[in-house]
Chains A and B, each alone.
Chain A
Amino acid sequence: MTRYIMVADLRRCVGCQTCTSSCKETNATPPGVQWRRVLDIEAGEYPLVRRVFVPTGCQHCDDPPCMEVCPSTATGQRKDGIVTIDYDLCIGCSYCALACPYEARYKVDDVEYVYGAAATATEVARRDQQKIGIVTKCTFCVDRIDAGTKAGKVPGVDPEATPACVNSCISGALRFGDIDNPDSAVSKLVAENKWFRMHEDEGTGPGFYYLWDKGAL
């Protein structure tokens, strides 16, 4: 079996938002929509303060609450763990967005351009990728994964088969791959480091592992 997951090494992440920007361009998301983003979270009180940069987005949960609530079956889950949205089925009710504990889902009701009134040449070129009135979220760049694997590439190893955010990550914080493959980089990272998953108590089984220290759990 294959189960794709994302590893975010919080020791490495510097909050540069390169992944955010790369995601936005790769997926042509409209202003304000960030399938991948990095949070800037502060903890503690002066002078004992910590600031942590937390890449987030759709966690591609084992048991996705979004899928459960979706009335149209637009939200689905592949055998490799990727949670998908069928844009032709989605009615844009946003129920899934409210069911997601990770605030990963977006809906844009009106066409909006980066510079306001008119579309740039890029926006014109990618007009067919506009998703107005339906819910969108991180796809783990599923089209890249599918095209890449079809061409014999390995997600998480070959850039052609790897999500854009991971390819772009300058600190090496974001890694992607198949956790069911014990030889994959992500399997080793998860095995050899301490990690947590966000809102573990929700029982959603998120596919996003946050590394925070060396050594097995």
Chain B
Amino acid sequence: MKQMNTSRRQRSWDLRAAANFIGGGTGTGLLMASVVAAAFGPTTPVTMAAGAVFVMLGLSMVWLEIGKPWRALHVFFHPQTSWMTREGIIAGPLVAAVGAWVVLGLSAALPLVFVLAAGFLFCQARMLRASRGIPAWKQAEVVPFLIATGVAEGTGMMAVLGGSSPALVGFALAAGLAREAAWWAYGRGLARSHAPKASMDVLMKSAPAMACRAAQVAALVLWLATLSGVTDVALLAGLLAAVSGWGIKALLITRAAFTRGPAIAMCPVRGRGIGLPIEA
């Protein structure tokens, strides 16, 4: 027999936590895009600085959410297994590396920025995956999706803040397509894992989700239009690519974050009654 639904929306993390994934994803994506851009020629420090600001804004939102903000340094205590600690540990050097390039002009810092930003983004993605209480987060495919959307948002934001180039647009289009592929894989993964229906509904059917998805597809079309020279709408494409990612992540962290819910494997035998198995 089938058990009633016991899944419920998590109440531990709100938009402040989502902001970390938004800022961290976009910021690191922007940093990586900036590093790549810098590798190909002179570039403005604005995007690099903005990337760091995004990351720091995200982290400060988390700082506002934790119950004991003055104990924030305790976050560094558990690098052995905690992806949150690892993310925190990377944040400092990342900002320092950005500062080294932006302020001191140390070009040697660029690869470091790239590696640290990628590491930060990876930590974020693994952080969600380690959240075993939320099926929509612990799904393995959440990692490539978070990385892909981070890069897609970052390249989008790069186009907004730093102007576009055919290379960037091509890169952004590729990132957007990667995000599409990751999203598709993620959705399939959720279905395969029997993720809570409510999570699926919010992510796949809700109006905000549909709007975000539409924006992502629109961004792809606009990138393509720009790349093919039909019209230069890179600014709009970048904005859509970034904001749509933020929307999806906001949904993923808050409204779509349902618990697995308590479940029993068997109905107990009461006296001389019959025990019945529960369908998984």
Contacts and interface: CB of A to CB of B under 8 A. Distances in A.
A154 interface: no
Nearest to A200: B265
Contact of A198 (B67, B69, B74, B263): B263
A48 B127 CA distance: 42
Interface string A171-205: 00000000000000000000000101011101010
Interface in B47-87: 62, 65-69, 71-72, 74-78, 81-85
B267 A95 contact: no
B268 A48 contact: no
A68 B130 CA distance: 8
Contacts of A199: 260, 263
Given A212-B266, A213-B275, A91 B133 contact: no
A69 B131 contact: yes
Interface stretch (B1-9, B100-108, B171-179, B236-244): B1-9
B130 A99 contact: yes
Which among B137, B262, B263 has the greatest number of chain A C-beta atoms within 10 A?
B262
Contacts of B267: 43, 50, 52, 212
Contacts of A107: 12, 67
Interface string B114-139: 00000000000001001111100100
Contacts of B269: 11, 212-214
Contacts of A101: 132-133, 259-260
B211 interface: no
Contacts of B69: 91
A88 B262 CA distance: 30
Which among A69, A98, A212, A213 has the greatest number of chain B C-beta atoms within 10 A?
A98
Contact of A93 (B66, B81, B130, B137): B66
A91 B13 contact: no
Tell me what chain A mostly uses at the interface: helix, strand, loop, or mixed.
Answer: mixed
B268 A103 contact: no
Contacts of B82: 68-71, 95
B1 A44 contact: yes
B264 interface: yes
Contact of A39 (B68, B83, B262, B265): B262
A69 B81 contact: yes
A130 B130 CA distance: 29
A94 interface: yes
B262 A212 contact: no
A200 B134 CA distance: 16
A90 B71 CA distance: 8
Contacts of A68: 81-82, 130
A43 B278 contact: yes
Contacts of B259: 101, 103
B77 A71 contact: yes
B276 interface: yes
Contacts of B67: 90-94, 107, 109, 132-135
B192 interface: no
A73 B68 CA distance: 15
Given A11-B270, A43-B276, A52 B134 contact: no
Contact of B74 (A44, A65, A89, A202): A89
Interface in A126-149: 132-135
Interface in B129-183: 130-134, 137
A85 interface: no
Interface of A: 9-11, 39, 41-45, 48, 50, 52, 54, 56, 65, 67-74, 89-95, 97-103, 107, 109, 132-135, 194, 196, 198-200, 202, 204, 210-214
Interface of B: 1-4, 6, 8, 10, 12-13, 62, 65-69, 71-72, 74-78, 81-85, 88, 127, 130-134, 137, 257, 259-270, 275-276, 278
12 contacts: A11-B270, A41-B4, A91-B71, A91-B74, A93-B84, A95-B127, A99-B131, A101-B133, A134-B67, A199-B263, A200-B265, A210-B264
